[in-house]
Amino acid sequence: MEFTQLTTLGELKQVGYKSKSIKNELRDNLIHKLKNDETSFEGIHGYENSVIPELQRAILSKHNINLLGLRGQAKTRIARQMVSLLDEYIPVVEGSEINDDPLNPISRYAIELIGELGDTTPINWLHRDDRFAEKLATPDVTVADIIGDVDPIKAANLKLSYADDRVIHYGMIPRANRCIFVINELPDLQARIQVALFNILQEGDVQIRGFKLRLNLDMQFVFTANPEDYTNRGSIITPLKDRIGSQILTHYPESIEIAKTITQQEAKSDSRQSEGVHVPELAKDLLEQIGFEARKSEYVDIKSGVSTRMSITAYENLLSAAELRMLVNRELKTSVRLSDFMSIIPAINGKIELVYEGEQEGAASVAMILIQEAITSLFPAYFPKIEKLERQNEPSPYDEIMKWFYDGQGFELPNHMETDAYEQQLDMILPLNKLLQEFQPDISKEDLYFLKEFLLWGLVEFKKLSKQKLDKGFEFRDVLGSYIRGI
């Protein structure tokens, strides 16, 4: 028999329904998933050997949890995923403001209703998706918002004095009884509001306007915090930290492969983009490498962090840049080009905090530096390494390419060239074709031209060629010729 077909307290008792606390629900359902080799947290990548085992231990220990980490580390997503570890439905007293358990009521309303109606007390069934409450901690949050307050309008309507506890209007936490309650950015919560959480975390009761009101709330608390907030905007007061069972440190992806998986999962692309725009694997690697470069850059505030959302929005911009060119040229298909990476600069600008040196350079210049450093980092994985100091007259795999540019008058690569013209333009550099055949013989035709452009940009970064930005694209020249023309 489906429990959800039961409509009264008496029917619930008759089938022998047993209530359990939310922490026991989480624990029992996690144990069930582990025994059946089921995934506890879907869509969370890179935490398999670090954060997720710690979460599992905290849930098995029935702890309240603080997820501590920089922005864009899936803290809120993890908290929301915990809902999947709840029972699908739980019974509640019909009309209860705080999800009273029919077998263990705690509010005056539910206790009096059951006392009056007994086994005929009506019940409803609450789905696990409705058992998640979330509050962003901001300085304007009050005790009344999260705990509750006396409601003078209710007192007037019911003709009750303020001494009667029925005039209380419950705040967010009592209304989330038997639910997972998340407070994001906990350090932003004023100290006096944090104090109001003491009793709820330790004893499970609340105090409202001096009422001796003991509500044995059944809650699973999850807090999120940025470690930088401890010194910049606020702090988690020590007695509150002492009452949080487990503090778990999150982190950024530790490899490009994990970062790519997250970006592909989260990026929102139109079906016409995914069907019409080809993205070379190297382009995906380069995009993620930009994030890795930002997290160690001297221009970026490392303590603030570089969110994974930067790579996600940058990838969306990259697709849109290629799509725009496809639409302008009235083509049905196109491929991402390295010059398209100029379109991700707006996505980078909004996602990184700059230190003083970065502010002096300017946000757009720092974004361009990060792209260049990413190219420099990935270049040796595809082509022979170029040392900063090389012996004179020592032969180099790149000599023929440099000679081609030295003998020529420059090489322009406009951004919005049609695909055929773009490929023909790159095919003109015959030594480029020869180098790729030698060092990347297995490259697919779809990825070939991105790799050619990547090689040119890499040679610029290693001072073998020079590059100049034009109104509609880039011009590549030999270094010596550019220097002489400059003089």
Please tell me the least confidently modeled range out of 55-59, 147-151, 448-452.
Answer: 147-151
How, if at all, do strands 148-150 and 334-335 pair?
Answer: unpaired
Higher pLDDT, 320 or 188: 320
Please tell me the least confidently modeled range out of 68-77, 207-216, 311-320, 446-455.
Answer: 207-216
What's the pLDDT score for residue 73? 93
User: Which parts of 114-241 are beta strand (E)?
Assistant: 123-127, 132-136, 148-150, 168-170, 180-184, 220-225
Please tell me the least confidently modeled range out of 20-24, 70-74, 201-205, 416-420.
Answer: 201-205
Structure tokens at 277: 């725009």
Confidence category of residue 344, pLDDT binned at 50, 70, 90:
very high
- Segment 237-284, tens digit of pLDDT: 888 888 899 999 999 999 999 999 999 999 987 777 888 999 999 999
- Segment 88-139, tens digit of pLDDT: 999 999 999 999 999 999 888 899 999 999 999 999 999 999 999 999 988 8
Higher pLDDT, 388 or 18: 18
Q: Name the burial class of residue 266, with classes exposed (0-12), middle (13-18) and buried (19+) by CB atoms within 10 angstroms of its CB.
A: middle
Determine the Cα–Cα distance for residues 191 and 147; give it in Å rounded to an integer: 15
Question: What number is the average pLDDT over the span 366-391?
Answer: 90
Phi, psi of 17 (to 5 degrees): -65, 135
Please answer whether residues 265 and 271 qualify as being in contact, where contact means their C-beta atoms are separated by less than 8 angstroms: no
- H/E segment holding residue 477: strand 473-478
Please answer whether residues 313 and 351 qualify as being in contact, where contact means their C-beta atoms are separated by less than 8 angstroms: yes
What's the pLDDT score for residue 28? 97
What's the pLDDT score for residue 209? 65
What's the pLDDT score for residue 205? 66
Determine the Cα–Cα distance for residues 210 and 207; give it in Å rounded to an integer: 6
- Span 252-381: which CATH code? 1.10.8.80
Q: Name the burial class of residue 438, with classes exposed (0-12), middle (13-18) and buried (19+) by CB atoms within 10 angstroms of its CB.
A: exposed
Please answer whether residues 248 and 55 qualify as being in contact, where contact means their C-beta atoms are separated by less than 8 angstroms: yes
Cα 116 versus chain centre, distance = 50
Q: Is the pLDDT of residue 1 over 60?
A: no
- The H-assigned helical ranges of 15-170 are 22-35, 51-60, 75-81, 108-117, 143-146, 152-158
Question: What number is the average pLDDT over the span 208-233?
Answer: 74
- Segment 151-180, tens digit of pLDDT: 777 767 777 665 666 777 888 998 999 999
For the chain, what is the mean pLDDT?
89
Check if 3-249 and 252-381 are the same fold. Answer: no
Instruction: Region of 305 please: left (phi>0), alpha (psi -120 to 50) or beta.
Output: left
Higher pLDDT, 441 or 350: 441
- Segment 15-61, tens digit of pLDDT: 989 999 999 999 999 999 999 999 989 989 999 999 999 999 999 99
Amino acid symbol at 465: L
Amino acid symbol at 266: E
Nearest by Cα to 82 from 16, 9, 131, 140: 131
How, if at all, do strands 277-278 and 411-414 pair?
Answer: unpaired
Confidence category of residue 400, pLDDT binned at 50, 70, 90:
very high
Phi, psi of 300 (to 5 degrees): -110, 140
User: Number of H helices and number of E strands within the chain?
Assistant: 23, 14
Is the dihedral angle over the CA atoms 328, 332, 338, 343 positive or is it negative? positive
Cα 387 versus chain centre, distance = 37
Please answer whether residues 46 and 224 qualify as being in contact, where contact means their C-beta atoms are separated by less than 8 angstroms: no
Q: Which residue has the tokens 């055949």?
A: 437
Q: Is the pLDDT of residue 482 over 60?
A: no
Write the CA distances from 134 to 173, 217, 303, integer angstroms.
10, 17, 26
Cα 213 versus chain centre, distance = 39
Give the percent of the chain with pLDDT over 70.
Answer: 92
CATH class assigned to 3-249 = alpha beta
Determine the Cα–Cα distance for residues 332 and 317; give it in Å rounded to an integer: 19
Determine the Cα–Cα distance for residues 480 and 487; give it in Å rounded to an integer: 11
Q: What angle do CA 240, 242, 245 make, to 5 degrees?
A: 105
Whole-prediction pTM: 0.87
* Extents of the domains making up the chain: 3-249, 252-381, 390-487
